[in-house]
């Protein structure tokens, strides 16, 4: 049966074909105490190129989940020794949100109450055994697609569109928890605010597009110098980085290497090239709460501007 072009069924087939080529990153954990039931599901999934891992019961499933970080979906039977599918779903939801991992319950028991129990305990979907492959694939595809869409939305919400660095929201969210960790583990770190000097003049002289180009180049240099750190564009021509490392000297040198390389670089702009400089305000190993640290870095940045720009003030 060949569906009519652009019909829903046709578009679905197209999606499935696309999937077969692209879903090798999606690993699925199949949990069932019956080896024949397990093998049947594994066989169906392998036909669509999924990576598959198996477990005999809930306890084993939790172990495998802890071992394999790339599992996107768990398909679990209901009745199993040691830990059944409902308990497993419950345990999974204590650790993984629906945005991270999909759970599909399966049961041969005819009572409709099992699907409700699965869903109430955190499963995303339910299949009754025996199922036809068509329904099986529809449910798997639908659930993985919805996970992928969430991932896309999250990426868009956390990324600066122009530079592809973390945006303000993502920086505030991640930096705060990272700093807590550095303080707990007594890891030396610094928080730096970075602002382009006289950027308005770049726009006024060369136009907004060239201005954008300069911001992109700065982001590239940030990636180059601070690969291991958390880098972000906070807005406009203002950036931030959270770095950890050996000690204050090491961190200060890293920031200054970056500042100097930007200052001596000729950034290509149409027929000519532009030189720019940066001012940085930095806080080292502060025990203050995050928003206060940001204020302190901002004050230091202001001092760097007052003091003549193209420099770091601590
Ligand atoms: P200072 O050394 O005091 O920081 O001077 P400045 O000119 O860099 O600072 P000011 O705050 O006066 O100007 C910042 C300029 O950045 C103004 C704004 O038009 C420009 N800007 C903000 N966001 C963008 C952007 O996304 N693209 C471009 N091209 N320009 C931007
Ligand atoms: Mg069973
Ligand atoms: Mg300004
Ligand atoms: Mg500026
Ligand atoms: Mg500014």
Question: Any residues with CB less than 8 A from the CB of 20 and at least 6 apart, and which?
Answer: 48, 49
Residue (of 136, 252, 258) closest to 191 by Cα position:
252
Residue (of 255, 299, 292) closest to 179 by Cα position:
292
Q: Flag whether pLDDT at 226 surpasses 60.
A: yes
Query: Which residue has the CA at smallest separation from atom 11 of ligand 1?
Result: 200
Question: Any residues with CB less than 8 A from the CB of 161 and at least 6 apart, and which?
Answer: none
Please report how many Cα atoms fall inside a 13 Å half-sphere around the Cα of residue 7, on the Cβ side.
Answer: 7
* pLDDT for the residue numbered 22: 56
CA distance 228 to 52: 32
* pLDDT for the residue numbered 112: 74
Q: Flag whether pLDDT at 284 surpasses 90.
A: yes
Is this model's pTM higher than 0.90 or not? no
Q: Is 296 a catalytic residue?
A: no
Ligand 1 atom closest to Cα of residue 214: 29
Please report how many Cα atoms fall inside a 13 Å half-sphere around the Cα of residue 58, on the Cβ side.
Answer: 18
CA distance 120 to 113: 10
Distance 300 CA to ligand 5 centre (A): 13
The stretch 111-140 carries a mean pLDDT of 93
CA distance 74 to 49: 16
Tell me which ligand sits closest to the C-alpha of residue 235. 1
CA distance 162 to 211: 11
Distance 306 CA to ligand 4 centre (A): 12
The stretch 217-242 carries a mean pLDDT of 96
Whether the ipTM is more than 0.90: the answer is yes
Distance 212 CA to ligand 4 centre (A): 13
**Local confidence band at 209 (pLDDT 50, 70, 90 cut-offs):** very high
CA distance 1 to 7: 13
Ligand 1 atom closest to Cα of residue 203: 29
Query: Pocket around ligand 1: residues whose beta carbon is below 6 Å from it?
Result: 162, 195-200, 203, 208, 211-212, 215, 236-237, 305, 309
The stretch 68-83 carries a mean pLDDT of 94
Identify which of 168, 195, 198, 199 to mutate to test ligand 1's pocket (most ligand atoms within 8 A of the CB). Answer: 199
* pLDDT for the residue numbered 228: 86
Mean pLDDT of the chain: 93
**Local confidence band at 234 (pLDDT 50, 70, 90 cut-offs):** very high
């Amino acid at each position: 049966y060949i569906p009519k072009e652009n019909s829903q069924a046709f578009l679905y087939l197209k999606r499935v074909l696309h999937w077969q080529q692209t879903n090798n990153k999606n690993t699925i954990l199949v949990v069932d105490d019956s080896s024949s039931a397990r093998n049947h599901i594994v066989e169906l999934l392998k036909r669509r190129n999924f990576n598959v891992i198996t477990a005999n019961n809930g306890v084993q499933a939790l172990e495998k989940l802890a071992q394999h970080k790339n599992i996107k979906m768990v398909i679990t039977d209901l009745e199993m020794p040691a830990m059944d599918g409902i308990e497993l779903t419950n345990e999974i939801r204590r650790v993984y949100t629906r945005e991270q991992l999909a759970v599909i319950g399966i049961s041969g028991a005819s009572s409709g109450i099992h699907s409700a129990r699965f869903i109430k305990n955190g499963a995303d979907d339910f299949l009754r055994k025996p199922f036809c492959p068509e329904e099986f694939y529809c449910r798997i595809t639908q659930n993985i697609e919805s996970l992928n869409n969430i991932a896309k939305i999250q990426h868009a919400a956390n990324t600066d569109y122009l530079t592809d660095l973390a945006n303000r929201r993502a920086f505030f969210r991640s930096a705060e928890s990272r700093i807590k960790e550095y303080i707990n583990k007594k890891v030396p770190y610094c928080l730096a605010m970075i602002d382009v000097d006289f950027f308005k003049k770049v726009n006024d002289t060369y136009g907004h597009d060239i201005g954008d180009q300069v911001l992109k180049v700065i982001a590239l240099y940030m990636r180059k110098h601070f690969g291991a750190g958390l880098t972000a564009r906070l807005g406009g021509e203002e950036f931030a980085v959270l770095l950890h490392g050996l000690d204050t000297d090491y961190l200060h040198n890293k920031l200054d290497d970056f500042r100097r390389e930007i200052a001596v670089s000729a950034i290509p702009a149409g027929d000519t090239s532009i030189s720019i400089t940066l001012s940085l305000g930095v806080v080292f190993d502060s025990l203050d709460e995050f928003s206060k640290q940001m204020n302190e870095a901002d004050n230091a940045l202001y001092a760097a501007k007052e003091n003549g720009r193209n420099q770091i003030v601590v």
